[in-house]
Amino acid sequence: MISKQTMKKNISILYFTAIVVIIIYLLLQAGCSRNEPYVAVTPSTIQKIIPINTYVLDVSEPSGLAYNAVNNTLMVISDSHPEIYEISLNGTTLNTIPASGSDMEGIALSKNCDTVIVVEERIRSVTSFALNGAKLDTIIVDVAVLGNSGLEGVTFNHTGRQMFVLNEKDPRMLLCYENLTKKWQKNLDYTGDVSDVCYEESTGFLWVISDESRMILKLSSTGTLIKQWEIPFSKGEGIAIVGDKIYVVNDQDGKMYVFHKPN
């Protein structure tokens, strides 16, 4: 005859065994029903934007672009000619200013649009010209460069009295000056290169174009990436914001492309 104590012991063993069996069963079921390992794929958040207008320019290798708010025109420089061009918003050449600059790549205007400022890539300088082409002043931007990878863009925050200078690559860099004194610099590791920069006074954003990566970037005034967009061509070398439009010049096909400014 089995004692009550033995029966209780046997019941406990059976109970424990049943629980173990259930746990093993559930684990086996989970293992059998498991799918192949799931690899999360982050969808691309880079939107493509398409030009709404394209204009052929009478400017060889246009390489920098700036908006002239006084005349409601655009100022363009050329990789191949030491001249500054004033063009209409539909690309018609209106005026040509002879300039003694060398390898000019980026262009900006003073607040009153009576002085033109350009960057000269290989000699690492920012040079200002009067509207008759007379050279006014030059400062050297101290950036280590290799060959044809130097200064590419210049723009101004006239309200904050800041000048922003862009170095193409090696390093890709944004430099900020106040009263011709460098205040800070920031590496821009968002694209393969950076080709031009434009400060938008109404929003405080910096707009940057990349030739190699076919991108337009929107940055904060301290160089932090806010958003980027893909464009359908390389060789974008100049960018300007005019109202709700973005103007881009291409130094390979000699055309100016117009985009709606995205949010």
End-to-end CA, the chain:
87
Is 13 a member of any domain? Answer: no
Count of beta carbons in the 10 Å neighbourhood of residue 21: 10
Residues 96-120 pLDDT 10s:
999 987 889 999 999 999 999 999 9
Does 150 score more than 60 pLDDT? yes
Q: From its phi and psi, is residue 4 left (phi > 0), alpha (psi between -120 and 50) or beta?
A: alpha
Question: What are the residues whose beta carbons fall under 8 Å from the beta carbon of 119, sequence distance 6 or more?
Answer: 64, 104, 105, 106, 107, 125, 126, 127, 141, 151, 152, 153, 154, 165, 166
**What is the percent of the chain with per-residue pLDDT over 90, rounded to a whole number?**
73
Is 172 a member of any domain? Answer: yes
pLDDT score recorded for residue 130: 96
Residues 185-243 pLDDT 10s:
999 999 999 999 999 999 999 999 999 999 999 999 999 999 999 999 999 999 999 99
pLDDT score recorded for residue 243: 97
pLDDT score recorded for residue 93: 98
12 versus 59: the higher-pLDDT residue is 59
* pLDDT class of 146 with cuts at 50, 70, 90: low
Mean pLDDT of 54-77: 97
Mean pLDDT of 41-61: 85
pLDDT score recorded for residue 162: 97
| Rounded Cα gap, residues 105 and 151, in angstroms | 7
Reading the block at residue 108, the tokens are 């900006």
96 versus 16: the higher-pLDDT residue is 96
Does 20 score more than 70 pLDDT? no
> Structural domain tally of the chain?
1
Does 10 score more than 60 pLDDT? no
Is 7 a member of any domain? Answer: no
Q: What are phi and psi of 158, to 5 degrees?
A: -70, -35
Is 2 a member of any domain? Answer: no
pLDDT score recorded for residue 55: 98
Residues 166-195 pLDDT 10s:
999 989 999 999 988 999 999 999 999 999
* pLDDT class of 45 with cuts at 50, 70, 90: confident
Give the DSSP per-residue string, 166-200.
EE-SSS-EEEEEETTEEEEEEE--SSS---EEEEE
pLDDT score recorded for residue 44: 56
Domain of residue 202, CATH code: 2.120.10.30
Average pLDDT, the chain: 86
| Rounded Cα gap, residues 85 and 98, in angstroms | 9
Global confidence as pTM:
0.82
Q: Residue 143 sits in which domain range?
A: 49-260
* pLDDT class of 144 with cuts at 50, 70, 90: low
Cα dist from 125 to 48, 128, 143, whole Å: 34, 10, 10
- SS3 of residue 260 by DSSP: strand
pLDDT score recorded for residue 142: 82
